[in-house]
C-alpha cells in the first residue's frame, strides 16, 4: 500500500509542477493585464464597427415625392435672383434619366408661403406662393403654317430653359414654346424678341454651302465672309445724282443675282426647309415660356419647387 500511495503522490507532484510552470509562463507574458487589453481591443473594434454601421443612413424620399423625384432636376436657377423683367427671367431643368418624360402640365411654385410680409393692417403674415403651369409647345417653328402645340416631352439628357414671361412682345408665330434646332440661331436677330439667354449659333456655316461654286467671284467672296446664323441686311440709298444703290451688310456692288441668292438662302425658313431631315437637326434643349406678366422668383430667401401633373414634388432648390 505504501508503494502505491507513493506513486500517486509522485504523479500528482509532476502534474502540479507542469501547472505551476504554465501559470508562471502566462504571468511572465503579461498575465491578466494582457488579457484585459486584448478584450478591450476587441471590444473597441466591435464598437467601431457598430458605429460605422449605425452611421450609414439611407436617404429617403419625402412622402409627397414624384416617380420622377430627382430624375428631372432644377439644374440652374439662371438669373432668378437678379432679373426684374418676366420676359428675361429664367431657370433651367434637366432630365437626367434614361427615359423621356412629358412635362407639360407640371407646375413651378415659388416660396412666398415661406416668407413673411406686412399686410394691409401693418401686421406680419405669410405670403401665398405663385404657381405657373408648364404649357404645350411645338417641335419646329414655322412662319407660314399654323401649328397646334402638343405636350412637351423632355428626352433623356435633354434640358429646358423656362422663361417666366413670353418670348416676344409682338404678336407673332414665335409666341409659343419650342424646341431648339440648328437653325434657331437666326431668331436672335429678329427684332422685338426677348431671348435670354440667346439661342446657340449652331447654324450651317455659309461658306460650306454646296451651291457656292455657282456664284460669281464677288458673291463668292461675300458669302465666304458671312457668319453662321446671320441674315445679311438689305438697304437702299439714293444719291444726290438720283442713282439708286443697293447694299447687303454695307457691301455695295453685288449683282442682283447674288442679292437674290443671299437674301433667300441665309434665313431661318430656308435653313429649316433644307435641314429638317438632317440627323442632327434638333438640339437637346427646349425654350418654354410660362406667359406670366410679373417676375416669379425673389432675390433671396427663395424656394424653386417643381411638381408633376399629380401635384407630387419632383425637385426643389433654395437660395
Residue 4: pLDDT over 60: no
> How large is the greatest C-alpha to C-alpha distance in the chain, in angstroms?
159
Q: What is the pLDDT of residue 125?
A: 78
Give me the percent of the chain exceeding a pLDDT of 90: 66
DSSP state of 211: T
Strand order in the sheet with 313-318: 131-133, 107-109, 303-307, 313-318
Residue 265: pLDDT over 60: yes
Give me the percent of the chain exceeding a pLDDT of 70: 80
- Comparison of pLDDT for 122 and 72, the residue scoring more: 72
Across 71-75, 169-173, 238-242, least confident range: 169-173
Please measure the distance between the N-terminal and C-terminal CA atoms of the chain and give it in whole angstroms: 101
Q: What is the pLDDT of residue 108?
A: 98
Across 50-64, 88-102, 255-269, 275-289, least confident range: 50-64
- Residue 174 pLDDT class (50, 70, 90 cuts): confident
Across 118-127, 211-220, 256-265, 292-301, least confident range: 118-127
pLDDT in tens, 227-251: 999 999 999 999 999 899 999 999 9
DSSP state of 297: S
Q: What is the pLDDT of residue 31?
A: 55
Q: Averaged over 214-226, what is the pLDDT?
A: 96
- Residue 171 pLDDT class (50, 70, 90 cuts): low
Q: What is the pLDDT of residue 116?
A: 72
Q: Averaged over 39-47, what is the pLDDT?
A: 43
- Comparison of pLDDT for 187 and 120, the residue scoring more: 187
- Comparison of pLDDT for 13 and 67, the residue scoring more: 67
Contact indicator for 262, 222 with CB cutoff of 8 Å: yes
Q: What is the pLDDT of residue 145?
A: 76
Residue 39: pLDDT over 90: no
- Cell numbers representing residue 139 in the block: 417641335
Q: What is the pLDDT of residue 9?
A: 56
Across 134-143, 221-230, 305-314, least confident range: 134-143
Sign of the CA dihedral running 130, 296, 167, 85: positive
Collect all residues with Cβ–Cβ distance below 8 Å to 16 and sequence separation of at least 6: none
- Residue 168 pLDDT class (50, 70, 90 cuts): confident
DSSP state of 29: T
Whole-angstrom Cα distance, residue 141 to residue 269?
A: 9
Sign of the CA dihedral running 224, 230, 236, 237: negative
Amino acid at each position: 500500500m505504501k508503494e502505491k500511495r507513493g506513486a500517486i503522490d509522485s504523479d500528482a507532484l509532476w502534474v502540479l509542477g507542469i501547472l505551476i510552470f504554465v501559470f508562471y509562463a502566462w504571468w511572465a507574458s503579461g498575465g491578466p493585464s494582457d488579457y484585459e487589453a486584448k478584450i478591450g481591443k476587441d471590444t473597441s473594434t466591435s464598437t467601431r464597427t457598430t458605429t460605422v454601421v449605425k452611421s450609414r443612413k439611407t436617404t429617403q424620399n419625402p412622402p409627397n415625392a414624384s416617380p420622377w423625384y430627382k430624375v428631372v432636376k432644377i439644374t440652374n436657377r439662371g438669373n432668378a435672383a437678379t432679373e426684374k423683367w418676366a420676359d428675361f427671367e429664367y431657370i433651367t431643368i434637366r432630365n437626367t434619366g434614361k427615359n423621356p418624360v412629358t412635362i407639360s402640365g407640371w407646375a413651378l411654385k415659388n416660396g412666398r408661403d415661406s416668407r413673411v410680409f406686412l399686410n394691409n393692417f401693418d401686421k406680419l403674415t405669410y405670403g401665398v406662393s405663385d404657381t405657373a403651369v408648364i404649357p404645350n409647345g411645338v417641335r419646329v417653328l414655322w412662319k407660314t403654317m399654323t401649328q397646334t402645340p402638343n405636350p412637351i416631352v423632355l428626352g433623356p439628357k435633354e434640358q429646358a430653359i423656362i422663361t417666366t414671361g413670353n418670348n416676344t412682345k409682338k404678336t407673332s408665330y414665335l409666341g409659343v414654346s419650342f424646341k431648339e434646332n440648328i437653325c434657331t440661331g437666326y431668331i436672335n436677330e429678329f427684332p422685338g424678341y426677348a431671348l435670354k439667354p440667346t439661342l446657340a449659333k449652331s447654324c450651317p456655316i455659309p461658306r460650306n454651302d454646296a451651291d457656292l461654286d455657282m456664284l460669281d467671284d464677288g458673291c463668292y467672296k461675300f458669302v465666304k465672309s458671312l457668319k453662321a446664323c446671320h441674315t445679311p441686311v438689305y438697304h437702299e440709298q439714293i444719291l444726290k445724282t438720283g442713282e439708286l444703290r443697293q447694299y447687303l451688310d454695307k457691301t455695295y456692288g453685288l449683282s442682283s443675282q447674288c442679292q437674290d441668292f443671299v437674301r433667300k438662302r441665309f434665313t431661318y425658313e430656308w435653313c429649316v426647309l433644307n435641314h429638317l431631315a438632317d440627323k442632327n437637326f434638333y438640339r437637346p434643349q427646349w425654350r418654354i415660356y410660362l406667359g406670366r406678366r410679373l417676375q416669379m422668383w425673389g432675390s433671396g430667401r427663395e424656394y424653386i419647387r417643381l411638381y408633376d401633373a399629380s401635384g407630387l414634388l419632383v425637385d426643389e432648390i433654395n437660395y
